[in-house]
Structure 1
Amino acid sequence: MSSKNVKQISEWFIYPHHASEESKKPFYLTPNDLALLSVHYIQRGLLFTKPPEAILDQKNFTNSLLEGLKQSLSIALVHFYPLAGRLVTKKSEDPALYLVYVDCNNSPGAKFMYATLDMSISDILSPTDVPLVVQSFFDHDRAVNHDGHFMSLVTIQVTELVDGIFIGLSMNHCLGDGTSFWHFFNIWSEIFQAQAQGGHSNFVATISRPPVLKRWFPDGHGPIISLPFKHSDEFIGRFEAPPLRERMFHFSAESLAKLKAKANAESDTTKISSFQALSALLWRSITRARCQPPDQGTSCRLAANSRARLDPPLSGDYFGNSIYPISSKMVPAGELLEHGLGWAAWKLHEAVVNHNDKVIREHTNAWLESPVVYQVSVFEPSSVTIGSSPRFNMYGTEFGMGKAVALRSGYAHKFSGKVSSYEGRKEGSIDMEVCLLPDAMSALECDKEFMEFVSVSHY
């Protein structure tokens, strides 16, 4: 299986079907966007089973699918026009200026690729660990967002397997967070479905959730935010992960209910959510699997959506970055493991509750006083970082092929202790993608407390 590689067949650049007046203006980046210039693109994709018509006429099915995807993408880009642009930097010394923004007017457009792989769905989903070949289902391998000056800001790669289709989307993280990523993916699928059901292929003008492209800046700031640099070498870092094992762990709705009940009972409360309990389980189990010294500090970070926490709140359809890495307090590993699940879950609950408008604005204002560009390499190696969210509508993205059989991700943002949370295929379930050093992963697989709650996946 390791000898089989993804073979790229074709490549296109897709323009918006038509250019709006707004798309001809610079699209400015906010502090939350600019801080991500040195981290990776977001890479997520869905694996579909080929429908029966693909068996009857393989060539016609593939050609029809690709044409439908390209046409609907062109229309989706009218609504999400920044994704068809490129990053541009304007610099001057007097006055001092280092301005990065999106030029939507002078760009080759979004990238669309078609590739093949002589493997089956079973070859991808059956192994215990996620096969490395999955990383080849995405463009922008190891690229950082600043590379959007000369690379597409979004690429769709359609990889055809023997019995399946993988649609991988790679999006520049400076343009949006996970909420924005899945918003675009969902709407693109919605337009595709409307076309397939008889909608005019060129004029699907109405969509269910138009993106809110008006930028959010703190009072008195924006739209031009100048960075305190003279050259990108001052803030761009290239991160290479050590050899990791990557596994998907499935948690059924029933298992999550038991986990939540256990955490709340131990803390004598009813306020701990299923996700907080699950995050606490992973934090404790990974810390134990690493065999960390009892006095070594550890924390658990969660990527929190700030849209509804601002006052006034941002629209849920705000297109951009509105996330904040909330964190539990650093505690000694020994103390974390001496206490039970409920104790750890309550620490996370407190961190979530305390993430409010005041904290968000204080963090943003501090960044404006001393701008910093985040680096993937600075994550604390003794801690756990949980990204993405099971709240995203992942399996509602169908492209006429029915519900996907699985979700997978690329190389981006993976380091020891990185966990990504996904909506499970079965309603109410959650999948957790865990990346660990090999020895730690082996220990996690033997951890009784952890494996007690892991469910059998039927993918």
Structure 2
Amino acid sequence: MVTILGTHTVIPKEETPKGLLWLSDNDQLWRWSHTPSIYVYKSKQNNNTVLVERMRDSLSEILVHYYPLAGRLNWTAGGRLELDCNANGALLLEAESKKSMAEYGDFTPNQPGIKELIPAVDYSRQMNELPLFLAQVTKFHGGDGGFAVGILWSHPLGDGLAAIRFINSWAKLTRGAKLDPSELPFLDRSALKSTEPLTSPRFDHREFKPLPLILGRTDNIEEQKKKKTFALLKLTSEHVQKLKKNAIVTENGNGNGNGNGPHNQSQRPYSRFEVISAHIWRCACKARNLEENQPTVVKFNVDIRNRMNPPLPQNYFGNALGPTVTPTCYLKEITSQPISYAAQKIREAVKKVSNHEFVKSQMDYVAGFENRWDLIRTPYLEKGEYRADVPFFGNPNIILGSWMSMPFYEADFGLGKPFYFGPAGVCPYDRAVIALMPDEDGDNGYAVVVYMHFQVEHMKDFIKYFWEDI
């Protein structure tokens, strides 16, 4: 049980610009609710109040630079999100648990009590009343001590990289350091504004079109309603190397058996992301036990900051993600062909978003949805927004993400670096996120982990294939 000892509305330390801040079309694609995550620290510092006071002061200081996070979202008449920079503030909670750190297990979303370490939000309130950033600092009970910092982040304000940069800068100020000019955010989002008049898209943007349905179905409502669960799967460096080696062996082997395979002995080796993603896709297809001729795709987002021409500023604050999707494959192709077959499909999807003209065309395509944003915006399924005409990434498909480049473990608030970071909620659709976790035996001190969100009825089989097929 967790007791809230204090609730602090934190406003910028200095006067900040007021008024409406334009949110890009890329910002409009994400669900309007918050994304939960958690940091866990082993520090034995006893005075929770002193820590929270330092975090409150530094949060007030960092909000001067990140003043949009102290604002509030509103709906426009056309269903677009807009940001009112009104300095109403972020929310910081001080809490204390009657449980020890050990009683929370591995801190994954399936563990009882994890939700109590995350700020609670009343979504029955008007959107313009909801803080965009909330943090809860919880001290654990017992001699071993320790703290958890639970985060709620409004995705329309920024993607994962933007969130991590903010939190790491906040942490840096909390421990008494100063920010370098290069660490300050770039807030102008006009670089992602489509030109007027709109140009017709130059590509077929399948990434925004309905994904394959289970054969015999006319919609995916049934799959939206099915319960999901979570698993944390840790890959050693040996596991990763074996997957990469298997892809090389099959790539240089006898082809994929259908005469039109992607195998090319001269191409570069598959990356960690490509082989792990391929492995996840194959295991998901096997676990679901669908028909062999079931169409399936993988969808994921690619950071486009360095894929624009010219590139976006280094510290661009906002959403800068280019959705992409693999070619449609049949389940039998993915499960019976070598892992390199699926890895090549992943590579093809990455390559599309590496094309600046494709990204610009994508922006024009999205801009064409003015007044119809609900048709492409990720729905808030936890609130029962079940609809057949909105994006859904679950069975028979899957959505992937890579957090391997994100420096989560630099968030040192003066407690030392966290020993655990991860999602604090179960995703409402099948999703796998590939990330890194501190490990003395891993490459450069880190091991690869997969945060796996999957339907309850298929998770056991997925885990079985995940380890058997390496």
Tell me the TM-score normalised to structure 1 length.
0.82
Does the residue aligned with 1:174 lie in a helix, a strand or coil? helix
CA 1:178–1:135 in structure 2 vs 1: closer, same or farther (change >3 Å)? Answer: same
1:408 Cα deviation after fit: 2.5
Moved more, 335-344 or 115-124: 115-124
The answer for the alignment partner of 1:10 in structure 2 is: 6
1:194 corresponds, among 156, 176, 200, to 176
CA 1:400–1:207 in structure 2 vs 1: closer, same or farther (change >3 Å)? Answer: farther
The answer for the alignment partner of 1:47 in structure 2 is: 40
After superposition, what is the alpha-carbon deviation per residue over 1:244-303, rounded to whole angstroms, capped at 9, x for unaligned? 221111112332222222223322343310111111111111111111221111111222
The aligned runs of 1:7-406 (5 Å cut-off) are 7-20=3-16, 23-36=17-30, 38-51=31-44, 54=45, 58=46, 61-89=47-75, 91=77, 100-105=81-86, 107-126=87-106, 130-139=110-119, 148-162=127-141, 163-194=145-176, 206=180, 208-215=182-189, 216-221=191-196, 242-268=226-252, 269-355=267-353, 356-371=355-370, 372-373=373-374, 374-376=377-379, 378-406=392-420
After superposition, what is the alpha-carbon deviation per residue over 1:159-207, rounded to whole angstroms, capped at 9, x for unaligned? 2222321111211111000110111011111111225xxxxxxxx5755
CA 1:253–1:266 in structure 2 vs 1: closer, same or farther (change >3 Å)? Answer: same
1:318 Cα deviation after fit: 0.5
Specify the code of the residue in structure 2 equivalent to 1:384.
I
**Alignment length (residue pairs):** 407
The answer for the alignment partner of 1:444 in structure 2 is: 462
1:415 corresponds, among 422, 428, 432, to 428
For residues 295 and 320 of structure 1, the distance between their equivalents in structure 2, rounded to whole angstroms, comes to 40
For residues 47 and 402 of structure 1, the distance between their equivalents in structure 2, rounded to whole angstroms, comes to 10
After superposition, what is the alpha-carbon deviation per residue over 1:290-332, rounded to whole angstroms, capped at 9, x for unaligned? 1122111111122211111111111231000111221111211
For residues 251 and 6 of structure 1, the distance between their equivalents in structure 2, rounded to whole angstroms, comes to 33
CA 1:100–1:446 in structure 2 vs 1: closer, same or farther (change >3 Å)? Answer: closer
Specify the code of the residue in structure 1 equivalent to 2:357.
K
For residues 163 and 292 of structure 2, the distance between their equivalents in structure 1, rounded to whole angstroms, comes to 39
For residues 285 and 160 of structure 2, the distance between their equivalents in structure 1, rounded to whole angstroms, comes to 26
Tell me the TM-score normalised to structure 2 length.
0.80
For residues 241 and 142 of structure 1, the distance between their equivalents in structure 2, rounded to whole angstroms, comes to 22
Q: Is the 8 A contact 1:307 1:315 kept in 2?
A: yes
Q: Is the 8 A contact 1:417 1:436 kept in 2?
A: yes
Q: Is the 8 A contact 1:142 1:411 kept in 2?
A: no
Q: Is the 8 A contact 1:129 1:248 kept in 2?
A: no
Q: Percent identity?
A: 22
Specify the code of the residue in structure 2 equivalent to 1:174.
P
For residues 41 and 230 of structure 2, the distance between their equivalents in structure 1, rounded to whole angstroms, comes to 21
After superposition, what is the alpha-carbon deviation per residue over 1:97-127, rounded to whole angstroms, capped at 9, x for unaligned? 666422223x431011122222233233348
What are the ranges of 5 or more consecutive residues in structure 2 without an aligned counterpart?
Answer: 198-220, 253-266, 382-391, 440-444
Does the residue aligned with 1:354 lie in a helix, a strand or coil? helix
Q: Is the 8 A contact 1:12 1:111 kept in 2?
A: yes
The answer for the alignment partner of 2:215 in structure 1 is: none
CA 1:24–1:157 in structure 2 vs 1: closer, same or farther (change >3 Å)? Answer: same
Q: Is the 8 A contact 2:394 2:431 kept in 1?
A: no
Task: Kindly report the root-mean-square deviation, in angstroms, between the aligned alpha carbons of the 2 structures.
Answer: 2.7
For residues 115 and 425 of structure 1, the distance between their equivalents in structure 2, rounded to whole angstroms, comes to 26
Q: Is the 8 A contact 2:115 2:424 kept in 1?
A: yes
